[in-house]
Structure 1
Amino acid sequence: MKLSFLSRVGFFAVVFTCVSSGFDSRENTIAGINNALNTGVFSCNNVVSFFLARYQHLIQLNAITLSSDALNIAYAMGILIASGNSRGALFCIPILPKDYNLHEVVLEGISVSSLGGQTTNPYDRTRTPGGSSGGIGAAIATNFAVFGTGIDTVNSLRSSASANSLFSFRPTPGLFKRGAIARNVRDLAVTLTVMVSSGYDAADNASALAPPSARGIDYSSELSGRELSGLIFGLIKGLFNLTVMPWPTLVLTLRAAGAAATSEKETVYNAIDIATLEVQTLEYREFTDACPKNSNVSNAASNPVNKLSIQNLTIVLDSTFSAGNFDALIYSEQKIFVFKLGSPSQSGPNGILTAMTGFPVVVVPAGLSPSPE
């Protein structure tokens, strides 16, 4: 089970190794690897080699492809580290960009492609890893790298995080175009800090909308010594599957940690109605410039009913925050258990809520769901 936490500042969405010379690639973090590199315990070449060796033991997941230059790049980085010229928090941190193995039809959420085949879920090899960033999700859960990046237009990163018990975020539109998947929230915060500090991206006009004050912020600094005490959460009951997560349990857990938690029953938060909103065009928006000017796509009429529904949903969501003075809204990222291999698509995603309204969101694991079998 994954929970999504939504706020006007940030949504929180509630989802055989190689051991040698003391280095264990399993569950290693950005801080842990940086410490090992900077103290000379391991070289950059050592670190990359360990992750590559782990991948060779689990290649049958069909999650990623490898760069043939990985070790050469690591060796060059090692020379810079040895001379005191490492460059930033992510220097020599093994990462995975999104397009290693992803679903070709994008919105289906099952991660199968003609190039990489069907990616399988590392927790249950008979099921899919979500998608479209299923390759990244399966790979990070299996410790093939420290974190992965991708574009979450509708549900891509969050679906995969939910299916693989990982953390993920979809940033505020204009702050940065991409999000990330990681095994812990601190690595996610460090990644966001580095991404946002990159500033304006000429390939992404939306990045110009980010206020200068958003850059230079260390998002990981907010994680030290923070507690839930005094925070106010609203739980969107209509987006939960109450058969797999008893409602009172979640409320009691939050209250036991010192937070206030109330249920939001606004009828607009209906998973079935939200799912009917047209989102397919969002997934392909980046490619529409390549279409002929007289194509049906470029001349297609917009759906005024759809636009009105999205506008109404955004207004209601904003008013929900104001009325309840909420720090965040919480909902289940996925209502339906991840599907078996061979299924045509995954149903029950709730990621459309933030995709349509533009609110930022973070996915946080909240325990493992019971198998439906």
Structure 2
Amino acid sequence: MSSHASTIDVTELTIPTFHAALREGQTSITAVVRAYLSRITQHDKTLKSLITINPNALSEAAEKDAETGRLLQQNAENTTPAVAAAAASLPALHGVPILLKDNYTTYGLPTSGGSKALATLSSRDSNVVRTLRQNGAIIIGKANLHEFALHGTTTSSLGGQTLNPYDSTRTPGGSSGGTGAALALNLGMVGCGTDTVNSLRSPASACSIVGFRPSLGRVDTQGIVPVSETQDVAGPMGRCVGDVKVLFDVMKGDSKGSVTERRKSGIEKGVFRIGVLEEYFHLETPSSSSSSGTLDAELVAENAIVQEVTRNALSLISSAQDPSNINITLVSIPANSHNDNDWSVSHLLDNGDTQAFEFRECLNKFLQSEGVSSPHPSLESIASSGEYDRKAVTNVFALPLSDKETYSRTSPEYKSRLALIESLKTSVRNLFTKHDLDALVYPHQRHFPIKIGPTVQPARNGILAALTGRPAVCIPGGFSPVTPDAPRGVPIGLELMGREGGDEVLLDLAEFIEGILSARKVPY
């Protein structure tokens, strides 16, 4: 197929639509990649969502076009419809332009973790990237992230401050905010991020896209710049749940066979019971309070909007009439429904989060691993270089340097946190069993993503899934009223946390709800 073949509009382009257009000769991979590169040139100088563009993206696209041509030729030479259909099938990510968070080691491209100190070159792909390429993906670029993926405003010494495409005065969430902002503005088809506490779902909420945190261990994290072995996952991001499903199937090494056939069990159940976690709707005190001990009036007003949008979405979900007889029952879960354990976000962050205890050891092991050519062998070396954003790295970076004995895996405090995590898992399991739940639902963020300036994004609800290892997905839930800074409104994300190991069923449920809400809007 000629690289000059007519193309289709890449705005909101999905993987199935793209592949159908390839099979029908309506476009080429080269034309689509060129369209995304053009959009990057047009928009990203202001957005600052990407750190590196793959200089070989167009040549890789041309190679994939030749492969497409061979497949189509094989199809034309077959005589039976069944054989012809099989011959025309394409690898799951054939020619799909993917954006990688810049903590995935990638052969031929630098991997920085957002830090000037690294720009680490790798002689090999991380396991996930290798799998993506084997399934036909084209890495179009590496996205900005919060420095070392340590918080949620997507501020880094190398990539600067990524802006929210819906309101340039606000952050895009994080730490996978570069990927989220770029996907929202259609600078790539799908993307990959990581999540230690909130980092796949926070940008999804802030940028009106879908971010999926898989169950702990479902996707290989080898070759990804780490933060916490206990909490780190890698996962897919996209503009719709369908694309996230396709990408997840590949990332977890499960790309063979029919996606539809493998998912029947999730939808055939017919009735889904979702617990509405009321505790995660309201602002917390004192963790969300000002120094005077009172909640900021602007944040209170934003929280009221978040609650209204979320409850309107839940009303649509509960009243939806589905022709396939799939029913959703919402169950209110008051704050006192789990009095065997404290689920408050402030408590879990203060007493359960393992990042500061594991970061130094995990990062040092990565920097010294085979295939990674790093200018720094350790966290201490990076700190000595001064080539990082001191405001962005948080105490996760500083504490293990100042007190190695306490902030290690051998300390009593660390063991206490592991014990809390086990207790929390039991508490969540008991609640799901008590109410026969398929998922919990709540807004991902209790107020809007913060204005540009501070490097800490408060009031996010992702820690519950991060500590329990359960799958969680954030989908577009709606928008705030429009303002001069946000002509579309500020995105508000709806988070669903599923059963243990129930990744596929949760994605089925999210896709069904996505169809009810149809809440995503393009930025402009």
Q: TM-score range by the shorter chain?
A: 0.7 to 0.9
Aligned residue number for residue 271 of structure 1: 345
C-alpha contact 1:172 1:360 (8 A) present in aligned 2: yes
Letter in 2 for 1:286: C
Considering Cα pairs closer than 8 Å and 6+ residues apart, tell me whether 1 or 2 has the greater RCO: 1
Letter in 2 for 1:39: E
Post-superposition CA distance 1:48-92 (Å, at most 9, x none): 111111111102211113111111111111111111188502011
Q: How does 1:147-226 map to 2 (within 5 A)?
A: 147-177=190-220, 178-197=234-253, 218=259, 222=263, 226=267
Residue aligned with 1:81, SS? helix
Letter in 1 for 2:436: N
Post-superposition CA distance 1:100-123 (Å, at most 9, x none): 211115232011122221100000
Aligned residue number for residue 54 of structure 1: 39
User: How far did residue 311 of structure 1 move?
Assistant: 1.9
Aligned residue number for residue 517 of structure 2: none
Aligned residue number for residue 457 of structure 2: 346
Number of residues paired by the alignment? 339
1:252/1:228 CA distance change after superposition, 3 Å: farther
Aligned residue number for residue 144 of structure 2: 101
C-alpha contact 2:174 2:199 (8 A) present in aligned 1: yes
Q: How does 1:71-110 map to 2 (within 5 A)?
A: 71-84=58-71, 88-99=91-102, 100-110=143-153
Give yes or no for the alignment of 1:121 onto 2:164: yes
Structure 2 length-normalised TM: 0.59
User: How far did residue 283 of structure 1 move?
Assistant: 5.7
Post-superposition CA distance 1:266-306 (Å, at most 9, x none): 35332332232324235666314255999825575141432
Letter in 1 for 2:476: P
Aligned counterparts of 1:316 and 1:63: Cα–Cα separation in 2: 39
Q: Pairwise CA RMSD of aligned residues?
A: 3.0
Give yes or no for the alignment of 1:66 onto 2:107: no
List runs of 5+ in structure 2 lacking aligned partners. 73-88, 103-142, 221-233, 283-302, 321-326, 369-377, 381-399, 486-524
Residue aligned with 2:212, SS? strand
Larger Rg: 2
Letter in 1 for 2:355: Q
User: How far did residue 219 of structure 1 move?
Assistant: 6.4
Query: Which residue of 263, 275, 291 maps to 1:234?
Result: 275
User: How far did residue 255 of structure 1 move?
Assistant: 2.2
Letter in 2 for 1:116: G
Aligned residue number for residue 307 of structure 1: 418
Aligned counterparts of 1:332 and 1:285: Cα–Cα separation in 2: 33
Q: How does 1:279-290 map to 2 (within 5 A)?
A: 279-281=354-356, 286-289=362-365, 290=368
1:225/1:356 CA distance change after superposition, 3 Å: closer
List runs of 5+ in structure 1 lacking aligned partners. 1-19, 200-214
C-alpha contact 1:186 1:220 (8 A) present in aligned 2: no
After TM superposition, where is structure 1 displaced by more than 6 Å over at least 4 residues in a row? 292-295
Larger displacement relative to structure 2 (139-148 or 113-122):
113-122
Percent identity between the aligned chains? Answer: 35
Give yes or no for the alignment of 1:253 onto 2:316: yes
C-alpha contact 1:335 1:348 (8 A) present in aligned 2: yes
Aligned counterparts of 1:249 and 1:122: Cα–Cα separation in 2: 24
Letter in 1 for 2:362: E
